Amino acid sequence: MKDLDLITNSLTDVEQQQIKSLQEWQNRMILSDCLPVLREMPSNLVDLIVTSPPYADSRKKTYGGISPNDYIDWFLPIAQELKRILKPEGTFILNIKEKVVKGERHNYVIKLILAMQQQGWLWTEEYIWHKKNCYPGKWPNRFRDAWERCLQFNRQKKFKMYQERVMVPMGDWANSRLKKLSDTDKIRDPSKVESGFGKNISNWLGRSMAYPTNVLHLATECNNKNHSAAFPKSLPSWFINLFTETSDLVLDPFVGSGTTCIAAKELGRHYLGIEIKKEYYDLAVSNIEKALFNIQAEKSAQKALNSSLPTEAEKVQSSAEQLPLSLEEDLPGKNSEKFLNLADIVDIEEY
């Protein structure tokens, strides 16, 4: 405590006030419309935003419903505040889906993406959440929805990303595909479509884990009967593992029953949830109180992966194999930390 007191006493009044301000927004649930709350929050505060706002004309009994024609005007002021409070190296994940209007998909999601780009957001990636246990169904001109978008936005091209934490087993394909390699498999084979990318199949010998795709095969939430649109805890957990470190702050401005905050707490992150409906706010508070703050979660997960991770030299070689030919001459040497440490901030221009 003496050391902590010495550190605290050495800080200026401004620095101490900044720390106090940050702590005021950690591990909280707020009952309110999210926009006025966001406007009160300090800039550059949040490390990750994961949320699923009300879809257009959906959940009218729950949230009143927002016309798809009005959706962009409704969401843009919120997006502007989210951009301000997100740290420069942070990430925003937006779970959203177009609705069908008069027999065709409405384009409000596409228009929203374009409008957010005009705000200065970078639309870095699009993940697909495949709802592998969706109910069967059929319409005259389409089939049952089995997926939703998880759009990734960033403030800048360099952002935090920890890819090893979401690695997946190689799968049975490796047993047959890697059993007998051709001469071409043992060297860098440039893409036949002249994209500038290439591959070396032999790099995967001896590995038990691989990097995942951008399609997430996750079951929908079946146990939460008290909220009309709860997504599974595994969805925010995946993004929290990928984009944050222990004690980072995770925000959900449309928190509903509290799933994002529960996932953050169980993974040893700080959380902040905002919910406008009192019924769901009370439900979220109750659910979050039952969750355990697990500071050891990240350490345990990393320890389990250590034995299957590629070596430092393999990371450099693998990075070189995947980069365009025009960039090969600019690759750092094997002693460079830029590629050796994949927990470093990622630069999306390199991929």
Pick 252 or 183 by higher pLDDT. 252
What pLDDT is recorded for position 7? 39
Expressed in percent and rounded to 5, the helix, strand and coil fractions of the chain are 40, 20, 40
Query: Does the global pTM surpass 0.85?
Result: no
Percent of all residues in the chain with a pLDDT value above 90, rounded to a whole number: 49
Task: Encode pLDDT of 119-142 as tens digits.
Answer: 999 999 999 999 988 777 777 888
What pLDDT is recorded for position 261? 97
Is the pLDDT assigned to residue 195 strictly greater than 50? yes
Helix axes 278-290, 259-266, angle to 10 degrees: 20
Q: Mean pLDDT over residues 45-73, rounded?
A: 80
What pLDDT is recorded for position 196? 80
What pLDDT is recorded for position 331? 30
Q: Mean pLDDT over residues 19-28, rounded?
A: 86
Q: State the CB neighbour count (10 A cutoff) for residue 35.
A: 15
What mean pLDDT is reported for the chain?
A: 80
For 249, the token pair is 């702050």
54: CB partners within 8 A, 6+ apart: 62, 63, 64, 65, 66, 229, 254
Is the pLDDT assigned to residue 173 strictly greater than 80? no
Question: Which of 27, 39, 97, 40 lies closest to 258, judged by CA?
Answer: 27
Q: Report the range of poorest mean pLDDT among 100-109, 147-156, 248-257.
A: 100-109
Question: Which of 60, 89, 174 lies closest to 345, judged by CA?
Answer: 89
Q: Mean pLDDT over residues 303-326, rounded?
A: 47
* Domains parsed from the chain with CATH numbers: 17-159+212-306 (3.40.50.150), 171-206+310-351 (no CATH)
Percent of all residues in the chain with a pLDDT value above 70, rounded to a whole number: 73
Task: Encode pLDDT of 240-277 as tens digits.
Answer: 999 999 999 999 999 999 999 999 999 999 999 999 99
What pLDDT is recorded for position 125? 98
Is the pLDDT assigned to residue 329 strictly greater than 80? no
Gap between the Cα atoms of 222 and 230, Å rounded: 9
Cα–Cα–Cα angle for 26, 29, 35, rounded to 5 degrees? 95
Gap between the Cα atoms of 50 and 236, Å rounded: 7
Gap between the Cα atoms of 70 and 48, Å rounded: 27
Phi, psi of 335 (to 5 degrees): -90, 0
Pick 19 or 33 by higher pLDDT. 33
Pick 290 or 16 by higher pLDDT. 290
Gap between the Cα atoms of 321 and 328, Å rounded: 9
CA dihedral of 162, 47, 291, 257, whole degrees rounded to 10: -120
